Structure 1
Amino acid sequence: MAKTPSPCIDVCKFKREGHCIGCSMTKAQKSLFKELKKNKHRDAFVEMLVGQQSRLGRYKHWAPEYLKKCMKKKAKPVRAVRKAA
């Protein structure tokens, strides 16, 4: 199985109190994700991010874009992403 891809959807504009308008990650979270090597840790991070997006609001565009990214990289998306899409 392919490695869980980064939640980044290549928008990278930190305008919502330090959160990216594309994926909701902060710069610190982006750095942290890059350090995660095991898929179970990456999957848990993506699950956390979906919850964060739900709390922050205005991120309905993210899940469909991330699903496309997962399909392109032949990676199985975590369940929370499939539910959000």
Structure 2
Amino acid sequence: MSKIPSPCIDVCKFRREGHCIGCSMTKDQKSMFKKLKKETHQRAFLDLLVHQQNDMGKFSHWRLAYLKRCAKKGVPPPL
């Protein structure tokens, strides 16, 4: 099974109360995702992140950018 790519889409500008304007993760969340080894934990993290983005709003660009990232890495999108 292929490793799930990080939800980071390489924008990395932390505004909006410490959340990245590209993916909505905080710096702590970014480091947390890197520590997750099991695919089930990574998928659960992505679900949490999508809910967080929906609550915060203005992250409709993320899904397409993440799908492109998965395609580039040759990994089926976990979404």
Q: TM-score, normalised by structure 1?
A: 0.89
Which residue matches 2:4?
4
Percent identity reads 62
The offset of 1:55, in angstroms, is: 0.1
Report the RMSD for the aligned CA atoms in angstroms.
0.8
Aligned equivalents of 2:2 and 2:72: distance in 1? 11
Aligned equivalents of 1:70 and 1:47: distance in 2? 16
Mark the runs of 5 or more structure 1 residues left unpaired by the alignment. 80-85
Aligned equivalents of 1:43 and 1:74: distance in 2? 17
Q: TM-score, normalised by structure 2?
A: 0.95
Mark the runs of 5 or more structure 2 residues left unpaired by the alignment. none
- Report the AA paired with residue 48 of structure 1: L
Q: Alignment length, in residue pairs?
A: 79
